[in-house]
């Protein structure tokens, strides 16, 4: 079978297009060849943080891979039948564990395999969803679709040293179900904060700011603050909610200045008042592109990651999608293909 060729410079032109392409390749059994990888970036080609997810997925689905090395601008991935596995992996840096799991969770579940994996690396790092977001927000949305996994954060890993440890078990999907995430109706929210080597008083001030912001918008808030051991100092905050027609999360991590973190994460949560938040929207595309029935979700704005994933999914699965403008956001419809190993 000739590989499906994907232009790696399309859309946001970064690691997302690689993750999406190899995930859908593993699920559908269709080889892919990604060219022009990170063509317009300051350092083009594959970086170490992009490679581990592909390596692990290649082990599970016994794939032949060409071009999987640092600075490679092309990658060929030819999957075979999958096998159940137990693995221990180390990113070796503060590279994002949640981004690796974005590859593994849908792929393993939808090829009807089981994976137990321990990964050492970054749990709460820049330019990535936090481990808590993955567990509580992505976990809820995927469960609604029919993809189930457990995630246990054994140790936090902040930038730059990493050293966090996450244990995950992914189980075979029984049935994929279409979704309709259109509008948040709940006024209940949960807020989680983890930190290490930072002022408890400063953190409580930020949490109180977030709580006040949410209460002004009539949300009832349950919250917890937990100090957890890590190699570096750090802090992350997640606010999330779900109901029959929405799954929404907002997270933020400490970088250089803690002041304003609470207000920022609360404002993002309040503004995401439709069916899903912007980060979750692109993560839904892979499984929804494999469901013959039409799924609908509404989001306040369209991201480059969402555009990229819709492009890749349509190339590999032949799914149909449309984006419609609403008064307060956008509606995305995806009618998927059943011609894959996921069914």
Identify the residue with better confidence: 182 or 53. Answer: 182
Residue 179 scores a pLDDT above 70: yes
d(CA 87, CA 23): 18
Q: For residues 33 and 1, is the Cβ–Cβ distance under 8 A?
A: no
Identify the residue with better confidence: 72 or 340. Answer: 72
Listing DSSP states for 31-47 in one string gives -EEEESTTTTSSS-S--
Q: What is the pLDDT of residues 218-227, one digit of tens each?
A: 999 999 999 9
pLDDT for the residue 341:
54
Do 240 and 222 reside in the same domain of the chain? yes
Residue 243 backbone phi and psi in degrees, to 5: -150, -165
196 bridge partner residues:
234
> Does 50 participate in catalysis according to the annotation?
no
- Is residue 157 domain-resident? no
Q: For residues 115 and 104, is the Cβ–Cβ distance under 8 A?
A: yes
Q: Domain with 203 in it: what CATH number?
A: 3.30.360.20
d(CA 290, CA 105): 15
Domain ranges, residue 290: 277-343
Q: What is the pLDDT of residues 243-279, one digit of tens each?
A: 999 999 999 999 888 889 999 999 999 999 999 999 9
Q: Give the domain-ending residue among 254, 271, 288.
A: 271
Q: Give the domain-ending residue among 247, 271, 295.
A: 271
Residue 198 scores a pLDDT above 60: yes
Do 229 and 291 reside in the same domain of the chain? no
Residue 9 backbone phi and psi in degrees, to 5: -95, 0
Q: Give the domain-ending residue among 229, 246, 271.
A: 271
Instruction: Check: pTM over 0.85? Answer yes or no.
Output: yes
Up-side HSE of residue 117: CA atoms within 13 Å toward CB? 27
The structural domain count of the chain equals: 3
pLDDT for the residue 313:
96
């Amino acid at each position: 079978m000739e590989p499906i060729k994907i232009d790696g410079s399309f859309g946001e032109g970064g690691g997302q297009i690689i993750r999406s392409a190899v995930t859908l390749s593993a699920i559908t059994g269709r080889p892919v060849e990604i060219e022009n990888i990170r063509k317009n970036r300051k350092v083009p080609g594959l970086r170490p943080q992009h490679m581990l997810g592909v390596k692990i997925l290649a082990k599970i689905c016994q794939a032949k891979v060409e071009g999987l090395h640092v600075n490679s601008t092309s990658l060929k991935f030819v999957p075979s039948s999958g096998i159940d596995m137990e693995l221990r992996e180390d990113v070796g840096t503060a590279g994002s564990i949640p981004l690796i799991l974005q590859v593994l969770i849908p792929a393993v579940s939808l090829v009807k395999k089981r994976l137990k994996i321990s990964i050492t690396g970054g749990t709460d790092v820049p330019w990535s969803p936090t481990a808590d977001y993955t567990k509580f927000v992505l976990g809820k949305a995927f469960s609604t679709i029919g993809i189930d996994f457990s995630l246990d954060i054994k140790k936090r890993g902040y930038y730059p040293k990493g050293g966090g440890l996450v244990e995950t078990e992914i189980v075979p999907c029984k049935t994929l179900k279409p979704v309709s995430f259109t509008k948040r109706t709940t006024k209940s929210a949960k807020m989680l904060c983890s930190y290490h080597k930072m002022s408890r008083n400063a953190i409580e001030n930020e949490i109180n700011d977030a709580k006040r912001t949410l209460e002004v918008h009539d949300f009832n808030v349950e919250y917890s603050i937990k100090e957890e051991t890590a190699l570096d100092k750090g802090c992350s905050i997640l606010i999330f909610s779900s109901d029959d027609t929405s799954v929404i999360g907002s997270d933020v991590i400490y970088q250089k200045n803690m002041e304003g973190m609470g207000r920022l994460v609360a404002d993002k949560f309040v503004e995401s008042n439709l069916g899903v938040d912007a980060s979750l929207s692109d993560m839904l595309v892979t499984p929804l592109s494999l469901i013959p029935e039409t799924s609908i979700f509404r989001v306040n704005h369209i991201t480059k990651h969402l555009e990229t994933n819709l492009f890749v999914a349509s190339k590999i699965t032949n799914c149909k999608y449309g984006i419609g403008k609403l008064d307060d956001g956008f509606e995305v419809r995806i009618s998927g293909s059943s011609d894959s190993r996921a069914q």
